């Protein structure tokens, strides 16, 4: 395993060489994807690019080798995603990869049965299957567990009814990780996590919502109309949805912005190329370095078995805010042409703004940090 700053010697040199080779392949793939035109339709998931990401292992970085993954720890995984984000202009693709890996595949590995692993996890790693995390609802706001979607027990499983929104990858998904409640009055103790095929009778997935940033990440609504799922669809213990959610958010909140850390470094380099004032370039370099060190410190702590809730919120807040500042600086340095809707600098700036909203807004991160410090 690499050291927290990514530069130290590894105790397992073979694993270290393999990880570094994967990191190099990720950076090269990012450059290749960026050089290829997306055509007139810039929105939607680039399935060909997704397949190539899966082929080099990006869809299974933290998943065990026995399930088709790479078996990496958090630190080595974020180093790969950071390298990919530094060279890949499709921020939506990088976000979609992280959303599946951290909020679907990781909890599935932790809580899934051998049968669920065989049915879903192998496909998620190979790229044959796409997964979506379905928690947010139109009326839930920032209270993630104010769920209206119900899971009614039946003789042989569950009946699901309700709707979800802002589900990353849903328009392309094969399997949905759905959170529903058996009894709203019981709060989080009644919440279930269930694996639902996207083509199951009663499931309707709406076309992708048009978003200002991350156009390469398909985000959509899911409608569940008395959907019957077997008892084997339950992920984790009965009423254990909170544990599944906490596990997925523990991964996602801290790691999903790893590609953005790479984008911060790329933004600083771009400012140097454009001849921006030394003070602006220097500030961008500082933001990039701080973001990288914080990300790596958090991932290293996770690999040591430490709780990283506070660090994850700090990383999410610091990286998102720093990315927007750097993206704004690049946009200004590029000149008038950067204002065009399809200009790279304009797209990157919108992606950066979006990063301050998904996986918990800036305000949510501040609230979480306050609670973690014992404040109310």
Longest Cα–Cα distance in the chain: 69
Check whether 63 has a pLDDT greater than 50: yes
Per-residue pLDDT band for 38 (boundaries 50, 70, 90) equals low
Helices 309-334, 362-372: crossing angle, 10 deg rounding:
150
Backbone angles phi, psi at 195, to 5 degrees: -90, 120
User: Tell me: the pLDDT tens digits for 70-109?
Assistant: 999 999 999 999 999 999 999 999 999 999 999 999 999 9
Three-class SS state of 365: helix
Three-class SS state of 167: strand
How far is residue 345 from each of residues 211, 316, 326, 329, measured CA to CA in Å?
17, 22, 11, 10
Pair 6, 83: CB distance under 8 Å: no
Confidence (pLDDT) at 91: 92
How is residue 79 written in tokens? 């180093």
Whole-angstrom Cα distance, residue 7 to residue 97?
A: 25
Confidence (pLDDT) at 340: 62
User: Tell me: the pLDDT tens digits for 282-303?
Assistant: 999 999 999 999 999 999 999 9
Three-class SS state of 234: strand
Of residues 278 and 7, more confidently modeled: 278
State the DSSP H helix or E strand holding residue 170, giving kind and residue range, or none if neither. Answer: none
Confidence (pLDDT) at 41: 43
Confidence (pLDDT) at 369: 80
Active site residues: 252
User: Tell me: the pLDDT tens digits for 216-269?
Assistant: 999 999 999 999 999 999 999 998 999 999 999 889 988 999 999 999 999 999
What's the pTM value of the predicted model, to 2 decimals? 0.89
Pair 330, 267: CB distance under 8 Å: yes
How far is residue 215 from each of residues 192, 212, 311, 331, measured CA to CA in Å?
31, 7, 29, 18
Three-class SS state of 164: strand
Confidence (pLDDT) at 190: 87
Q: Which residues contact 64 (CB under 8 A, 6 or more apart)?
A: 71, 109
Average pLDDT over residues 315-319: 92
Closest CA to 217 of 259, 170, 176, 260: 170
The residue behind tokens 């995984």 is 77
User: Tell me: the pLDDT tens digits for 155-187?
Assistant: 999 999 999 999 999 999 999 999 999 988 787
- Percent of the chain scored above 70 by pLDDT? 91
Per-residue pLDDT band for 4 (boundaries 50, 70, 90) equals low
Beta strands in the chain (DSSP E): 131-134, 150-153, 157-168, 175-181, 191-197, 203-205, 219-230
Check whether 153 has a pLDDT greater than 90: yes
């Amino acid at each position: 395993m690499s050291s927290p700053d990514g530069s130290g010697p590894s105790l397992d040199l073979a694993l270290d060489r393999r990880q570094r080779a994967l990191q190099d392949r990720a950076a090269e793939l990012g450059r290749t994807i960026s050089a290829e035109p997306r055509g007139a339709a810039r929105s939607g998931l680039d399935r060909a690019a997704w397949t190539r990401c899966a082929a080099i292992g990006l869809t299974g970085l933290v998943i065990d080798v026995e399930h088709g993954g790479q078996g990496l720890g958090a630190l080595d995984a974020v180093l790969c995603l950071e390298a990919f984000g530094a060279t890949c202009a499709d921020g939506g693709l990088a976000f979609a990869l992280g959303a599946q890996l951290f909020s679907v595949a990781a909890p599935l590995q932790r809580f899934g049965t051998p049968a669920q692993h065989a049915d879903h996890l192998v496909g998620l790693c190979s790229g044959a299957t796409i997964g979506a995390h379905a928690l947010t609802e139109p009326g839930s706001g920032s209270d993630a567990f104010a769920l209206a979607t119900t899971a009614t027990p039946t003789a042989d499983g569950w009946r699901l009814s309700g709707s979800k929104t802002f589900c990353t990858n849903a328009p392309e998904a094969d399997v949905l990780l759905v959170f529903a409640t058996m009894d709203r009055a019981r709060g989080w103790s009644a919440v279930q996590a269930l694996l639902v095929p996207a083509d199951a009778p009663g499931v309707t997935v709406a076309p992708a919502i048009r978003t200002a940033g991350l156009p390469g990440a398909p985000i959509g609504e899911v409608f569940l109309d008395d959907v019957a799922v077997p008892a084997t669809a339950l992920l984790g213990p009965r009423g254990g949805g909170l544990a599944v959610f906490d596990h997925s958010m523990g991964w996602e909140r801290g790691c999903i912005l790893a590609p953005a850390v790479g984008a911060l470094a790329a933004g600083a380099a771009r400012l140097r190329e454009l001849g921006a004032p030394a003070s602006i370039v220097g500030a961008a370099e500082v933001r990039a370095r701080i973001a990288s060190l914080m990300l790596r410190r958090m991932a290293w702590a996770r690999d040591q078995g430490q709780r990283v809730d506070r660090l994850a919120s700090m990383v999410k807040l610091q990286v998102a805010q720093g990315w927007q500042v750097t993206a704004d600086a690049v946009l200004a340095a590029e000149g008038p042409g950067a204002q065009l809707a399809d200009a790279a600098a304009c797209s990157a700036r919108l992606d950066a703004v979006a990063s301050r909203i998904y996986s918990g807004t800036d305000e949510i991160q501040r609230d979480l940090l306050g609670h973690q410090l014992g404040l109310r």
